[in-house]
Structure 1
């Protein structure tokens, strides 16, 4: 299961990217050995499923990356399609979502690595939970991805343990 890296990365950027990847790994590993039907099973009162968590975090990372790049999000959700962000739909599979997330992860790493500084900022979208005309740094975005992925890795641990007793930490 997920292991904490013992590699000393030497700089803030590398360390933050390593923590993001560690949380991605925890989520990916929660699906190991499961078929599509098992991964789509609800095991708690929550609507969350392992495949739904996987899709959500992949699309979440893409959304933050596109905001940081100040580019359009090709997978932007509307109110009508919001629920599809938490479940696989026709034509999607665990493998296809993992491949998509892998591409997003590579793009995030390349983007962050090429930045002159993690102090660079980008505007937040209008939302009741963000300050009006708010901006955040690239550092903030990476820390937010660690937070987001860690939260959902915990959800995935609970769902997986409820599904078949498998536990991430032994």
Structure 2
């Protein structure tokens, strides 16, 4: 994937996309040099694995993109399949999940670049954690992705350090 910093302007839209990308890189970097088994392991007190985190954030990004586009999400999780978003299942592999995420990232970036304004809004789906008939702006969505990815980048740091002592910051 090309470096977004070389392609994006330094305006608000470009800056928000760069912050989203920075957190994506932190999560992706946690997998560097690991075998599939290591990436799927759960060495900390949490049930989270690095490969599961990558799959989860890719699916979260897709879900927000589809909401913003007001299109159906092709990966719609039910209460019965929700946990599958946190682990690789069947023949899924880390490279396949990362390739999927690359596609979502490219689609989200193109979508945001083409928006007339970050002030445009879209409706939130009915859910107990969203306000009834709630709407959010595209700007809010990008900031939410920064928040979501940063939270999981922190999880990834702890998992990787628990796994083999590798630290993201030194």
Please give the TM-score of this superposition, normalised by the length of structure 1: 0.95
Alignment of 1:55-70 (within 5 A): 55-70=55-70
Q: How far off is 1:8 after superposition?
A: 9.1
Count of residue pairs the alignment pairs up: 166
Aligned to 1:28: 28
Which shows bigger deviation, 39-48 or 12-21? Answer: 39-48
Aligned to 1:15: 15
Aligned to 2:104: 104
Structure 1: which 5+ runs fail to align?
Answer: none
Q: How far off is 1:108 after superposition?
A: 0.1
Please give the TM-score of this superposition, normalised by the length of structure 2: 0.95
Aligned to 1:135: 135
Q: Supply the distance in 2 between the matched residues of 1:19 and 1:125 (Cα, whole angstroms).
A: 25
Alignment of 1:1-170 (within 5 A): 9-170=9-170
Deviating 4+ runs (over 4 angstroms): none
Aligned-pair Cα RMSD in Å: 1.5
Q: How far off is 1:79 after superposition?
A: 1.1
